[in-house]
C-alpha cells in the first residue's frame, strides 16, 4: 500500500494543483457566491450583450436608410421594458423555485412534463451555444487586434475553454473571484463612457474608422415589421437574464435573497447601459460601420481614442470571453435536476471533490469544444443559432408563472399575471421571429438539437423506469442466499505472487483450482507443473492446452465446464503485479488485461484481482546501465530460456 | 449470460468481419506462407528498390558531369556482387537461426548481448522507417498523378497504413495473397521492359519529359570517393534483403527450405533487374531528369509511353506502397524474440486470435503512423534516415557469421568466412558512409532512436530480473495460508441487484457488511435504511455520512477502519448492472467507476463486481415515445422524488 499510495499521491498532485484539494461541506461556503460575485459568475453573458445588442438594432434599422435610425431609442426603450418584465419575473421564479433550473422548474410545476423538457432542452442547447459563442467572440476580438494570431483562432478558443473549465472545476466561487476584475472594469468603464458622453457638451467628432454601411438606393418605408425585426434583433441583449434564476443553489445562504439581489443588480446595470447607449447613439448620430461596433464608436465619440478607450475595449474583450462562464453556472445545475428526475444519466448528480457538479461541467466543455471545432472557431457561423433557446425558455417560464398566479392567487395576482402574460406574449413573438428569420441559416440546427434532447430525455426516463421494474426497486426482495463457491486462479509460474493469490483464494473457499495454459511448445507449462509438484501447495494445478493461440479461450472454456458440472458460484482470482512506477505497467499483467476483458460481461462469474506491490528499486540500483557478464538470470519458470535456437516460437501442441 | 453473450457476439462481429474468426493451430498452415507468397509478403521492400536505387547512383555520378555516367554499370555490378554475398549469407543465417530474428539471433549467439541489442534496435528503427517511407512513396506517386489529392496525402497514408495493418492482423498468408497480383505485374512488367529493351534494335528515342539535371559548370575529377558515394547510394536497393531471414517462423513447413528458396528467388530477381536496368541505362544514355525516375525513362525508351508503360507504372506504385508489408513480416517476429528474452514487454509474445503477433503489428502501425504524422506524409523528410539501420544489421549479421564459421569450422569454412568477411567490410563501409553523409540531414534521428531503444532493452531486462528476484521466481515459496475474509458491499437501494450481491457476498464469507453513503440531505439514505429494516436480509447496513462531496471517500475510510480493527482479508463486492445495450452503460454503475478507480492500486483489498443483466426490452416496448400520464413511478429507493421543490440539491449534513 505504502508504495502504491506514494505513487498515487504523486499522480494526484497534478490534479490537486489544477483543481485544488477536496472541500468539506463546511468549507463549501467559500465556493458559494455573493451577489457581486454573481455578477461576474452568472451575469457576464447578459451584461456583455451591450457589445452586440444595440449594434443588431442599428443594422436592422439601417436597412431602411438613415431616416429609420431615429427609431433606435424607442426600440431600446421597449427592450428595456421587456428586460424589466423579465427581471421581475425571474425574481419571482427565484422565490417560487429555489432549487434552480429556472424555466425547467417553473414548467415542471405548472405546465407539465412535456413543456418542462422542451424548456430544459432549449436551455441546454443555448447554454452550449453561449459558451462557444462568447469564447469565439472574445478570441475574435483578440485576433482582430493581432491578425498574426488568426490562424490559431481555434487553438486559442480551446485553450480559453480549458481555462474556464478548470476554474469552474475548482468551484464557482473561484471562477467568480477570478473574473471580478475584468467584470468591474467593463461595467465601470461602460458606465463612465455613458456619463462622459451625456455631460460632455458635444461629441468629439473624432474621425471614425471604417465606412458607413447605409444603403445608397431607395429607402424602404418604415413599417411595423421592420420595427419588430429591430426589436427581435435587439433582444439578443437579453440572453443570460435567466442564468441567475437557474443557478440559485450556487449562492451563499440566504440563497434566494442573494440571488434576487443579483438579478436586480443585473437588471438595473443592463437597463442603464442599454438606455444610456441608446441615447448616445441618437446624440452622436451613430451609424453602422465596417469593422467598428456601435459600442466602439460611442466610446470613441465620448472619450476619444486614447488609453481609456483601449482599456475599456480590452475589458470588453475579456468580459465577452468570460461570459462563457454563465453557461458553466447554469448547465451543470440544470443537468443535476434533470438527472435527479431521471431524464439524464445519474452521474450528473454526483458532485466532485470540490462540491461542483463536475460531470456537468465536463460535459458542457466537451459539447462546446465540439461546437468550436465544427465551426472552426468562427462566431458568425454560430450567431444564427443563438438566442432561440433562451427565448423559448423565457416564454415557457413566463407562461408557467401565469399559471402559477392563476392557481395561487396571492394579493395582486392579476397584476403579476398580467406582467408575466405580456412578457410571455412578447418573448413568444420574439421566438417566432427568431425561428422564421434564422431557420434556414442555422436555426434548424437548434430545432433538431432540441428535438433530439427531448426524445433522449424521454428515453432515459423510460429506461430507468424499466430498470426499476426489472430490479424491483419498490418491492421487498426475497432474502439473499449464499452458495458454494469455487475459485479459479490463472497462474503462469510458482512465485510469491502465486502464493499470495492461492492464500487469498483459500480464504474465500476450500474449493480452489489453479490453471495454466500450455502455449507454443508447452515447455513453460511443463516447467510450472514440475515446480508446482515440488511446492505442493495443497491446491491442484490444471494444465490447459489449446488449439487456438489465445491464452484466454482455454481458461474461459474451463470455467464454462466447471459451471456446467457444479452448482457453484465461480470466482476468478487474477494475480496482478502493481509496479511502483507507472511506466512499468506495460510490462505486466497481460493475462489480466485479456482475461478481464473476455469476462467483462459475464454475470455468472465474479472477477477479482489479487494485487502485489513490486518495487524493483528495492533490489537493484543500476536500472540505467547494462552489465552483460554478471546479470541475474531469469529462471525457466518465468519464461523460455534465453537461447535463440532452442525454443522456436511456432505454434505446436 | 445469454443476453450479454448475444450482445458481445454482436459487438465482436465487426472485429470478425475485419480480422476474421479465430484460427486453430491446425488451421494456421493456411496463414503460413510459401516461397512465392514470401516474395509479396516479405520481399517487396527489396524488389521495389529498383524504383529508386539506380536513380540514386545516377544522381551521385551526374554530380561529376555526363562523363562519369559510364560508371553506372560497374557500380551496379559491384552492388549485385554485394547482393549475392548478402543472399548467400542470409541463406546461411536461415539454416543456423531458424527462429527468425536475423541479425539479432546471429549476434546473440556469436557476438554477445550488446551487439545483438544494437542490431535489434537498428532493425526496429529501420522497419518503422520502411513502413512509413514506402507508404509515403506509394501515396506520393498517386498524388503526383492526381495533384487534387495532394492536400489529403497524410490521410491517404494513414488509410493505406490502416489497410495494411488490418490485412496483417488477419494473418500474413492473407496479406501475401492480397498483394500477389500487383507484385506479379510489377516483377513481370519490369523484367519485360528489360527484355524488350535489350532485344529491340535501337532505343525508341521518344522525347522524355522533364529537363536534364546535369551540372553545366566545370566537371569534377572522377575520384574514388565519388565511386564510393555512388555505391553507397545504390546500396539503398539492398534494404529488405534481410527480411526473409528475420521472418522464417512465418513460412510453412519445411520452414528453412522454403525461406531459403524465397531468399534465392529474391536475390536472382533483384540481381537480374539491377543488372538489366544498369545495361539499359548505359545503352539508352539515361540521365537524371526532373520529375522522371530513371526506371520511368528506361520504360519509356524501351516500350514507349502507352498502356504498357502505365500498367507497369501503376503496379510499381502499388508495390511501393505494399512494400510496407515487409516491416509487418519482420518487426513482430523480432519483437516476440526480444520479448521472450525479456528485452521487450512480455505482451509482444502473445499471439492474437489469428495466430499473429498482434501486439507487435499494432505497435508498428502506431509508430509508423506517428512518423507519418510527424513528417506530414512527406517522403523526402524520411529518406535521409533510411538504410542506416538495415546496413547496421547487415554488418552485424555478416560479422557474426564470420565468428560462427571460426567456431564451427565446417568444410570450406575459410571460403565462407571470407565471403562474409568481405560482406561485413563492405556493408560496414557503406554504413559509415551513410552515417557521415546523412548525419546532419536526419541520420542523427536514427542514432538517437537506436540509442534509446538499446537503453530501453537493458532497462526492461533489468526490471524483469528485479521482479524475478522480488517474487522469488526461482525459489519454492512457503505454502499459502487462508485468512478470515470480510466482505463489504456498497449499496444504494434495496432491489434484486442488492439481493444478488448479498447472496454472492454470503457465499464468500459469513462476515458481510453493506454500506451506503448519505449524500445531500440524507433523505435517500434514510429511505434505504427503512427498506433495509423491512427486508431484514441478515446483513447489517452501515450508513456512512461525509463532510465531503465524494461518494467514495467514506467507503474507503470505512474499509481502512475495518482493516485496522481486524486481521481479515477485505473483499469489496460492487453491484453492477450490465445493460443489454451498449449505450445504456452511461446510465449505470457510476459508483463502480469511481470506487474501482479509487481502489485500483490497493494491494490489501480485493475488488470484485457482482453483475446482473438488465434488458428493459423485456418490460417495455415504448422506449421511443413519451407518455406523461400513466408512466411508471420510480420509487423513492431509487432516487429523490421527482418534485422540483422538495429536495434542494445543496450540500447538507
Query: How far is the alpha carbon of B586 from chain A, nearest alpha carbon, in Å?
Result: 7
Q: What is the pLDDT at residue A578? A: 82
Q: Which of B114, B502, B548 lies nearest to residue A628, judging by beta carbons?
A: B114
Whole-angstrom distance, CA of residue B117 vs CA of residue B107: 8
Across the interface, whether the CB atoms of A616 and B463 are under 8 A apart is answered yes
Of A107-111, A332-336, B480-484, which range is least confident?
A: B480-484
> Cβ contacts (< 8 Å) between A507 and chain B: which residues?
482-485, 569
What pLDDT was estimated at residue A643? 36
Q: Which residues of A touch B26 (CB under 8 A)?
A: 547
Q: Which residues contact A518 (CB under 8 A, 6 or more apart)?
A: A524, A525, A526, A543, A544, A545, A546
How far apart are the CA of B56 and the nearest CA of chain A, in angstroms?
37
Candidate from A1, A498, A586 with C-beta closest to B345: A586
Q: How would residue A265 be classed by pLDDT, with cut points 50, 70 and 90?
A: very high
pLDDT score at A205: 58
Average pLDDT over chain B, rounded to an integer: 79
Judged by DSSP in three states, B573 sits in strand
| The pLDDT of residue A4 is above 50 | no
pLDDT digits (tens, 9 = 90+) for A414-472: 888 888 898 899 889 888 888 887 788 788 888 999 999 999 999 999 888 888 888 88
Smallest CA–CA distance from A634 into chain B, residue: B465
Report the mean per-residue pLDDT for chain A: 79
* Weakest-pLDDT range from A103-117, A158-172, A247-261, B30-44: B30-44
Q: Which residues of B touch A341 (CB under 8 A)?
A: 642, 644
At A631 the pLDDT is: 41
Residues of chain A found within 8 Å of residue B480, distances taken between Cβ atoms: 499-503, 505-506, 537-539
ipTM of the complex, rounded to two decimals: 0.72
Q: In angstroms, what separates the C-alpha of A417 from chain B's closest C-alpha?
A: 21
Query: Between residues A329 and B571, which one has the greater pLDDT?
Result: B571
C-alpha cell at B179: 498483394
Which range has the worst mean pLDDT, A35-49, A123-137, A530-544? Answer: A35-49
- Answer with the residue of higher pLDDT: A157 or B309: A157
Say which residue the cell 518495487 belongs to. Answer: A615
Q: What φ, ψ does residue A59 adopt, rounded to 5°?
A: -60, -45
Q: Give me B534's grid cell.
A: 423491512
Smallest CA-to-CA distance from B502 within A560, A87, A569, A286 is with A569
- Quick one: closest CA in B to A507, which residue? B482
- Mutate which of B537, B626, B629, B647 to test chain A, going by most A C-beta atoms within 10 A? B626
Q: Which region among A315-324, A574-583, A635-644, B556-565 has the lowest average model confidence (pLDDT)?
A: A635-644
**Cell numbers that stand for A150 in this block:** 488568426
| pLDDT exceeds 70 at position A519 | yes
CB-based contacts of A61-65 (< 8 A; 24+ apart in sequence): A61/A226, A61/A230, A62/A213, A62/A214, A62/A215, A62/A287, A62/A288, A63/A215, A63/A220, A63/A226, A64/A219, A64/A220, A64/A221, A64/A222, A64/A226, A65/A214, A65/A215, A65/A219, A65/A220
Contact A98 B471 (CB under 8 A): no
- Examine the pLDDT at A629 and tell me if it is beyond 80: no
Which residues on chain B are in Cβ contact (under 8 Å) with A500? Answer: 480
Range of weakest confidence among A292-296, A620-624, B426-430: A620-624
Q: For residue A650, list chain B residues with Cβ-Cβ distance below 8 A.
A: 249, 255
Mutation target among B397, B471, B586, B630 for the A interface, most CBs of A within 10 A: B471
CA distance to partner chain A, nearest, from residue B182 (Å) = 29
The region of weakest confidence among A122-126, A211-215, B384-388 is A211-215
* Identity of the highest mean pLDDT range in A71-85, A338-352, A553-567, B24-38: A71-85
Q: What is the pLDDT of residue B211?
A: 59
The mean pLDDT value for B581-592 works out to 77
Residues of B in contact with A246 (CB under 8 A): none
Asked if pLDDT for residue B550 goes beyond 90, the answer is no
- Residue B376: asked if its preceding bond is cis (omega within 30°), the reply is no
Do the chains contact at A642 and B341, CB–CB below 8 Å?
Answer: yes
**What is the reported pLDDT for A95?**
83
Cβ-proximal residues to B348 (8 Å cutoff; 6+ apart), any chain: B332, B335, B336, B338, B339, B357, B359, B360, B363
Express each pLDDT in B276-295 by its tens digit: 998 888 888 888 776 677 78
The pLDDT value recorded for residue B28 is 56
As a whole number, mean pLDDT of residues A17-38 equals 65
CB nearest to B548's CB, from A22, A255, A609: A22
**Cβ contact, residue pair B608, A571, below 8 Å:** yes
- Nearest residue on chain B to A583, judged by CA atoms? B460
Per-residue model confidence (pLDDT) at position A641: 35
- CB contacts of A476 in chain B (<8 Å) are 494, 531, 534-535
Place of cell 463486492: B573
Mean pLDDT to the nearest integer, B234-259? 83
C-alpha cell at B529: 435504511
Contact A470 B586 (CB under 8 A): no
State the best of A468, A512, A581 to mutate against chain B, taking most chain B CBs within 10 Å. Answer: A468
Q: B137 is written with which cell numbers? A: 512513396
DSSP A349-361: G---TTSS-HHHH
Lowest mean pLDDT among A300-304, A594-598, B27-31, B604-608: B27-31
Position B652 pLDDT exceeds 60: no
Beta-bridged to residue A548, according to DSSP, are: B24
Which residues of chain B neighbour A548 with C-beta distances below 8 Å?
22-25, 353, 355
Contacts of B580 in chain A (CB under 8 A): none
Q: What's the mean pLDDT in A358-370?
A: 91
Q: Which residues contact B624 (CB under 8 A, 6 or more apart)?
A: A455, A458, A459
pTM of the model: 0.69
The reply to whether residue B606 touches residue A601, judged by beta carbons under 8 angstroms, is: no
The answer to whether the CB atoms of A470 and B113 lie below 8 A apart is: no
CA distance, residue A579 to nearest chain B CA (Å): 9
Under 8 Å CB pairs connecting chains A and B tally to 441
pLDDT of residue A326: 82
Cross-chain residue pair A468–B638, CB shorter than 8 Å? yes
CA Rg, chain A, in Å? 33
Q: Nine-digit cell at A365? A: 466543455
Interatomic CA distance for residues B243 and B329, integer angstroms: 7
Please state, in angstroms and as integers, the Cα–Cα distance from residue B254 to each residue in A548, B29, B129, B330, following that order.
21, 11, 31, 19
Which of B169, B135, B129, B127 minimizes the C-alpha distance to B14? B169
Lowest-confidence region among A157-166, B201-210, B593-602 = B201-210
All cell numbers assigned to A136: 469565439
Compute the nearest-CA separation of B114 from chain A (Å). Answer: 7
Check residue A125 and give its pLDDT. 92
Average pLDDT over residues B295-306: 80
Give the pLDDT of residue A307: 79
**Spatial CB neighbours of B490, under 8 Å, sequence gap ≥ 6:** B514, B515, B516, B517, B555, B572, B574, B575, B591, B595
Higher pLDDT, B160 or B101: B160
Interface test with B, best of A20, A362, A453, A482 (most B CBs within 10 A): A482
pLDDT range class, residue B492, cuts 50, 70, 90: confident
The C-alpha atoms of residue A309 and residue A130 are separated, in whole angstroms, by 26
Query: What is the predicted pLDDT for the residue at B1?
Result: 40
Burial bucket for residue A291 (CB in 10 Å: 0-12, 13-18, 19+): exposed
pLDDT of residue B642: 35
Mutation for A interface: B250, B352, B480, B560, most A CBs within 10 A: B480
Test mutation, A6, A24, A25, chain B, max B CBs within 10 A? A25
A578 or B293, which is more confident? A578
| Chain A CB contacts of B21 below 8 Å | none
Contacts B109 to A, Cβ<8 Å: 644-645
Provide, rounded to the nearest whole percent, the portion of chain B with pLDDT above 90: 13
Strands across the sheet with A485-490, in order? A541-545, A511-518, A485-490, A569-579, A605-614, B605-614, B569-579, B485-490, B511-518, B541-545
- Pick the residue with more confidence: B543 or B600? B543
For residue B106, the chain A residue with the least C-alpha distance is A644
Amino acid at each position: 500500500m505504502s508504495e502504491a499510495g506514494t505513487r498515487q499521491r504523486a499522480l494526484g498532485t497534478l490534479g490537486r494543483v489544477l483543481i485544488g484539494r477536496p472541500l468539506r461541506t463546511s468549507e463549501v461556503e467559500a465556493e458559494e457566491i455573493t451577489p457581486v460575485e454573481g455578477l461576474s459568475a452568472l451575469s457576464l453573458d447578459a451584461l456583455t450583450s451591450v457589445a452586440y445588442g444595440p449594434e443588431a438594432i442599428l443594422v436592422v434599422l439601417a436597412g431602411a436608410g438613415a431616416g429609420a435610425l431615429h427609431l433606435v431609442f424607442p426600440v431600446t426603450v421597449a427592450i428595456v421594458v421587456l428586460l424589466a418584465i423579465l427581471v421581475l419575473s425571474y425574481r419571482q421564479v427565484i422565490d417560487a423555485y429555489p432549487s434552480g433550473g429556472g424555466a425547467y422548474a417553473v414548467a415542471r410545476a405548472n405546465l407539465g412534463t412535456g413543456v418542462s423538457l422542451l424548456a430544459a432542452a432549449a436551455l441546454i442547447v443555448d447554454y452550449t451555444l453561449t459558451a462557444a459563442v462568447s469564447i469565439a467572440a472574445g478570441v475574435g476580438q483578440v485576433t482582430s487586434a493581432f491578425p498574426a494570431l488568426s490562424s490559431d483562432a481555434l487553438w486559442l478558443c480551446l485553450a480559453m475553454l480549458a481555462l474556464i473549465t478548470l476554474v469552474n472545476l475548482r468551484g464557482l466561487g473561484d471562477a467568480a473571484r477570478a473574473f471580478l476584475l475584468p467584470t468591474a472594469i467593463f461595467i465601470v468603464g461602460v458606465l463612465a463612457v455613458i456619463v462622459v458622453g451625456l455631460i460632455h457638451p458635444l461629441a468629439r467628432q473624432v474621425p471614425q474608422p471604417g465606412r458607413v454601411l447605409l444603403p445608397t438606393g431607395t429607402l424602404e418605408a418604415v413599417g411595423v415589421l421592420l420595427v419588430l425585426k429591430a426589436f427581435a434583433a435587439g433582444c439578443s441583449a437579453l440572453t443570460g437574464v435567466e442564468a441567475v434564476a437557474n443557478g440559485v443553489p450556487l449562492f451563499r445562504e440566504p440563497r434566494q435573497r442573494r440571488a434576487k439581489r443579483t438579478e436586480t443588480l443585473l437588471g438595473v446595470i443592463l437597463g442603464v447601459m442599454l438606455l444610456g447607449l441608446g441615447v448616445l447613439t441618437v446624440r452622436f448620430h451613430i451609424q453602422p460601420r465596417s469593422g467598428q461596433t456601435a459600442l466602439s464608436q460611442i466610446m470613441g465619440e465620448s472619450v476619444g481614442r486614447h488609453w481609456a478607450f483601449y482599456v475599456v475595449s480590452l475589458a470588453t474583450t475579456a468580459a465577452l470571453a468570460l461570459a462563457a462562464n454563465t453557461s458553466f453556472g447554469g448547465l451543470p445545475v440544470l443537468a443535476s435536476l434533470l438527472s435527479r428526475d431521471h431524464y439524464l444519466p445519474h452521474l450528473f448528480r454526483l458532485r466532485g471533490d470540490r462540491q461542483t457538479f463536475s460531470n456537468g461541467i465536463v460535459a458542457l466543455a466537451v459539447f462546446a469544444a465540439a461546437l468550436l471545432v465544427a465551426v472552426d472557431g468562427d462566431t458568425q457561423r454560430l450567431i444564427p443559432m443563438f438566442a432561440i433557446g433562451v427565448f423559448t425558455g423565457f416564454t415557457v417560464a413566463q407562461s408557467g408563472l401565469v399559471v402559477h398566479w392563476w392557481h395561487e392567487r396571492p394579493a395582486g395576482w392579476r397584476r403579476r399575471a398580467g406582467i408575466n402574460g405580456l412578457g410571455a406574449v412578447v418573448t413568444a413573438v420574439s421566438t417566432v421571429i427568431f425561428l422564421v428569420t434564422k431557420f434556414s441559416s442555422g436555426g434548424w440546427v437548434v430545432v433538431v438539437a432540441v428535438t433530439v434532447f427531448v426524445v433522449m430525455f424521454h428515453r432515459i426516463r423510460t429506461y430507468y423506469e424499466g430498470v426499476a421494474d426489472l430490479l424491483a426497486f419498490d418491492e421487498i426482495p426475497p432474502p439473499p442466499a449464499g452458495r458454494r463457491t469455487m475459485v479459479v486462479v490463472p497462474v503462469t509460474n510458482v512465485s510469491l505472487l502465486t502464493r499470495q493469490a492461492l492464500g487469498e483464494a483459500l480464504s474465500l473457499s476450500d474449493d480452489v483450482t489453479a490453471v495454466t495454459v500450455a502455449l507454443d511448445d508447452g515447455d513453460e507449462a511443463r516447467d510450472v507443473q514440475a515446480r508446482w509438484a515440488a511446492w505442493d501447495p495443497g491446491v491442484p494445478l490444471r494444465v490447459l492446452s489449446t488449439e487456438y493461440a489465445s491464452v484466454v479461450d482455454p481458461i474461459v472454456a474451463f470455467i464454462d465446464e466447471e459451471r456446467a458440472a457444479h452448482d457453484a458460484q465461480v470466482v476468478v482470482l487474477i494475480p496482478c503485479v502493481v509496479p511502483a512506477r507507472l511506466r512499468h505497467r506495460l510490462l505486466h499483467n497481460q493475462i489480466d488485461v485479456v482475461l478481464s476483458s473476455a469476462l467483462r460481461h459475464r454475470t455468472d462469474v465474479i472477477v477479482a484481482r489479487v494485487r502485489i506491490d513490486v518495487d524493483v528499486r528495492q533490489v537493484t540500483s543500476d536500472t540505467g546501465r547494462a552489465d552483460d557478464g554478471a546479470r541475474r538470470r531469469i529462471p525457466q519458470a518465468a519464461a523460455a530460456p534465453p537461447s535463440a535456437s532452442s525454443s522456436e516460437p511456432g505454434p505446436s501442441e
